[in-house]
């Protein structure tokens, strides 16, 4: 008798388990079915119907019948597995699959072709910039390698940083994070990988920012390696001083060197300054990243700071005299197309704009944040003509990041982030540079380049009138059952998904909203709409995250993306999602609708 009861109980549990994990095919939401009825006849959508749908719903008012026919062919090619598509028509299932295809129904103006004006000076663009590009992990004990450089270039990064140090025998050049336990990699290996992969993702210029810790003879060796490796691809300026930066268009498929001139750098090193990890890093200390939508990545400072090895630069320069400073590696100096300027005097003096020449300066994260408070307008005026690079503070030993928006809102072109880690700040970076076809250069909005009659410039903190309202509707999501194991989110039932939708931009525009939780469903259907009033839409990023609700523990991560608002296409769009490192999932995506009012 007990055995019979136990058998029935086991059977019941098994049936319940199977029932809950039984997968159902996705079905078009009611609104999509209604739209298909409106733009079809007798259950069939023709090219003419599709043209009208594209014009009236998708906001593509100028699409011609010929373009609609070409688009129909692309749709049918993408969803050719549907056997009903024997001619140029769509049935409901085909229409639904088309809407859910991020190949033909992507959310941005362009996914692989730049469309902005690329003929303005470099200072008019945000540039995809990495920090300590050669590190494989944390900033203290990870290996240096050309692999992270290759990965960065393949993702469209256009500014690569190399820290150059003499090798152990001081007869060659290594790349590693100085005064740490990071293992070195040969400079020549990095240069060859850069040459090979520089233009895989984009034809626009790659800028190498060099941290130079070399003697004149090694600088000469660097010049030889750079010249022989890059050849005609290397851009060299005809003048030591540029009156204006060239444009990305004029520098297509060119590699550019940017660093301080040797004389200035060596004079700095020969002084009795306090040793630094970077241009202006401070003493390593414990701190935490500003939390946005959750807790930051655990900081490993306590685990690693006892291993920091600090050594003075003086051993590399103690034998140099004034004569060698004056004649430091002229062939090396001639390769520096974008000269970086040493910060001298007050911040006001540092940000002085020279009407006859342009330059690049670097500010550490903390110094920049202080400058924002005390010299905000000066920062924007400076970046209208000159280049500003911002880099993470020294305590970010775990390769965490700071909020890049602070830099972009003040015109900084080279906001350098650690590409080795992950997190919401890196997602913002990835989101911004999805704009302009992912070419690594995004033109700054006009408001950052304008100057008033009284020299007034854009103020990110000033509350302006709402220019437009973004309406976002979250219909549904699918693909988790293909990209995740059936028990990834919950061992005993399907996941309970919800979506966070928000804006990252100027303070008054930044806000977050959340959908309801859909329980026990691999294909959740939220069907919820949100509105976001925007005062500066041209500096706003739409943030989307999917989480799986967990009552007893931290909610599980289910995907994310970040999209530039100014490039969103009106209408119903398929939104591909990415993992925490920014890698695109094969199948996970959302169906959403965008409109501007």
Q: Sketch the domain layout of the chain as residue ranges.
A: 30-99, 122-261+300-322+331-448, 468-596
| CA separation, residue 201 to residues 193, 390, 577, 579 (Å) | 14, 24, 20, 20
| CA separation, residue 41 to residues 45, 51, 54, 87, 412 (Å) | 6, 14, 16, 15, 53
In DSSP terms, 210 is beta-bridged to 162
- Per-residue tokens: 318: 């103690």
Ranges assigned E (strand) in 385-540: 387-391, 414-415, 441-443, 468-478, 497-504, 511-514, 525-534
Contact yes or no for 294/580 (Cβ under 8 A)? no
Backbone φ and ψ for 191, nearest 5 degrees, come out as -60, -45
- Per-residue tokens: 529: 């709409």
Contact yes or no for 588/578 (Cβ under 8 A)? no
SS3 content of the chain, % helix, strand, coil (to 5): 30, 25, 45
Nearby residues of 43 by Cβ (< 8 Å), 6 or more positions away: 91, 92
Nearby residues of 130 by Cβ (< 8 Å), 6 or more positions away: 152, 157, 159, 160, 161, 416, 417, 418, 419
Count of CB atoms within 10 A of residue 291's CB? 9
Q: Which of 543, 455, 559, 452 is nearest to 503 (CA)?
A: 543
Q: How far apart are CA 45 and CA 590, in angstroms?
A: 23
Q: What is the DSSP string of 22-42?
A: --------HHHHHHHHHT-BT
Q: How far apart are CA 253 and CA 204, in angstroms?
A: 6
pTM score: 0.87
Instruction: Print pLDDT tens along the chain (597 aa).
Output: 444 444 444 444 444 444 455 556 789 999 999 999 999 999 999 999 999 999 999 999 999 999 999 999 888 888 776 545 457 899 999 999 999 999 999 999 988 899 999 999 999 999 999 999 999 999 999 999 999 999 999 999 999 999 999 999 999 999 999 999 999 999 999 999 999 999 999 999 999 999 999 999 999 999 999 999 999 999 998 888 899 999 999 999 999 999 998 865 445 454 444 444 444 333 333 333 333 444 333 333 333 333 333 333 333 333 344 444 445 567 899 999 999 988 788 999 999 999 999 999 999 999 999 999 999 999 999 999 999 999 999 999 999 999 999 999 999 999 999 999 889 999 999 999 999 999 999 999 999 999 999 989 999 999 999 999 999 999 999 999 999 999 999 988 999 999 999 999 999 999 999 999 999 999 999 999 999 999 999 999 999 999 999 988 899 999 999 999 999 999 999 999 999 999 999 999 999 999 999
- How wide is the angle at C-alpha 108 spanned by C-alphas 104 and 109, nearest 5°? 90
- For 141, half-sphere exposure in the C-beta direction (CA atoms, 13 angstrom radius) is 8
Query: What is the CATH code for 30-99?
Result: 1.10.238.10
Q: How far apart are CA 428 and CA 131, in angstroms?
A: 16
Backbone φ and ψ for 186, nearest 5 degrees, come out as -65, 140
The SS3 assignment for 250 reads coil
The correct answer on CATH 3.60.15.10 for the domain covering 468-596 is: no
Q: Which of 419, 425, 407, 410 is nearest to 289 (CA)?
A: 425
| CA separation, residue 76 to residues 99, 591, 592 (Å) | 12, 19, 21
The SS3 assignment for 118 reads coil
Catalytic positions are 131, 177
Contact yes or no for 202/251 (Cβ under 8 A)? no
Helix H or strand E segment including 55? helix 47-56
- Per-residue tokens: 46: 């023709």
Contact yes or no for 100/51 (Cβ under 8 A)? no
- Per-residue tokens: 71: 């688009």
Q: What is the separation of C-alpha 14 from the centre of its chain, rounded to a whole number of angstroms? A: 46
- Per-residue tokens: 553: 């523990």
Q: How would CATH label the architecture of 122-261+300-322+331-448?
A: Alpha-Beta Barrel (3.20)
Longest Cα–Cα distance in the chain: 102
Q: What is the DSSP string of 310-372?
A: ---THHHHTT--HHHHHTS-HHHHTTEEEEB----S-HHHHTPPPTT-B-EEEEEHHHHHHHH
Q: How far apart are CA 284 and CA 139, in angstroms?
A: 12
Q: Are strands 159-166 and 173-175 parallel, antiparallel or unpaired?
A: antiparallel
Q: So what's the pLDDT on residue 240?
A: 80
- Per-residue tokens: 96: 């639904």
């Amino acid at each position: 008798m007990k055995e019979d009861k136990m058998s029935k109980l086991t059977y019941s549990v098994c049936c319940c388990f199977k029932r809950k994990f039984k997968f159902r095919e996705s079905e078009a939401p009611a609104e999509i079915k209604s739209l298909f009825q409106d733009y079809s006849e007798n259950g069939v959508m023709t090219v003419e119907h599709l043209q009208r749908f594209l014009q009236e719903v998708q906001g593509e008012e100028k699409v011609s019948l010929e373009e609609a026919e070409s688009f129909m062919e692309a749709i049918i090619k993408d969803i050719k597995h549907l056997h009903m598509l024997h001619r140029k028509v769509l049935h409901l299932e085909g229409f639904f699959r088309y809407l859910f295809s991020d190949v033909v129904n992507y959310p941005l103006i362009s996914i692989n072709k730049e469309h902005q004006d690329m003929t303005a000076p470099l200072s008019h663009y945000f540039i995809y910039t990495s920090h300590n590009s050669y590190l494989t992990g944390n900033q203290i004990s990870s290996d240096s390698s050309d692999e992270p450089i290759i990965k960065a270039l393949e993702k469209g990064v256009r500014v690569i940083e190399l820290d150059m140090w003499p090798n152990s025998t001081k007869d060659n050049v290594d790349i590693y994070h100085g005064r740490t336990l990071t293992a070195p990699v040969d400079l020549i290996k990095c240069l060859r990988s850069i040459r090979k992969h520089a233009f895989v993702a984009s034809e626009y210029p790659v800028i190498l920012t060099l941290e130079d810790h070399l003697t004149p003879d090694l600088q000469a060796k660097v010049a030889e390696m750079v010249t022989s490796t890059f050849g005609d691809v290397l851009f060299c300026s005809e003048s030591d001083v540029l009156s204006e930066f060239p444009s990305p268009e004029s520098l297509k498929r060119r590699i550019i060197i940017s660093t301080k001139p040797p004389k200035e750098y060596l004079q700095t090193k020969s002084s009795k300054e306090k040793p630094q990890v970077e241009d202006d890093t401070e003493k390593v200390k414990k701190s935490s990243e500003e939390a946005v939508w959750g807790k930051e990545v655990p900081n490993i400072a306590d685990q690693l700071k006892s291993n920091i090895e600090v050594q003075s630069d003086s051993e590399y320069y103690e034998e140099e005299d004034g004569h060698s400073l004056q004649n430091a590696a002229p062939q090396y100096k001639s390769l520096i197309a974008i000269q970086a300027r040493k910060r001298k005097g007050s911040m006001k003096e540092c940000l002085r704009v020279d009407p006859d020449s342009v330059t690049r300066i670097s500010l550490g994260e903390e110094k920049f944040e202080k400058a924002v408070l005390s010299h905000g307008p000066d920062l924007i005026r400076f970046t209208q003509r000159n280049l500003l690079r911002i880099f993470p503070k020294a305590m970010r030993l775990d390769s965490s990041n700071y909020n890049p928006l602070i830099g972009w809102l003040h015109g900084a072109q080279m906001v350098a982030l650690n590409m080795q880690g992950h997190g919401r700040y890196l997602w913002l970076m990835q989101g911004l540079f999805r704009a302009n076809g992912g070419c690594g250069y995004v033109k700054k909005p006009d408001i950052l380049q304008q100057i008033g009659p009284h020299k007034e410039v854009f103020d990110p903190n000033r509350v302006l009138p709402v220019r437009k309202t973004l309406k976002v509707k979250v219909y549904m999501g699918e693909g988790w059952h293909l990209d995740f194991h059936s028990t990834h989110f919950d061992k005993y039932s399907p996941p309970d998904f919800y979506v966070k939708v928000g804006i990252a931009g100027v303070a008054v525009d930044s806000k977050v909203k959340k959908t309801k939780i859909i329980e026990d469903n691999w294909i959740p259907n939220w069907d919820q709409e949100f509105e976001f009033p925007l005062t500066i839409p041209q500096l706003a990023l739409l943030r989307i995250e999917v989480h799986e609700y967990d009552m007893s523990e931290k909610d599980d991560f289910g995907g994310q993306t970040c999209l530039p608002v100014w490039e969103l296409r009106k209408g119903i769009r398929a939104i591909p999602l990415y993992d925490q490192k920014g890698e695109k999932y094969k199948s996970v995506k959302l169906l959403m609708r965008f409109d501007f009012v």
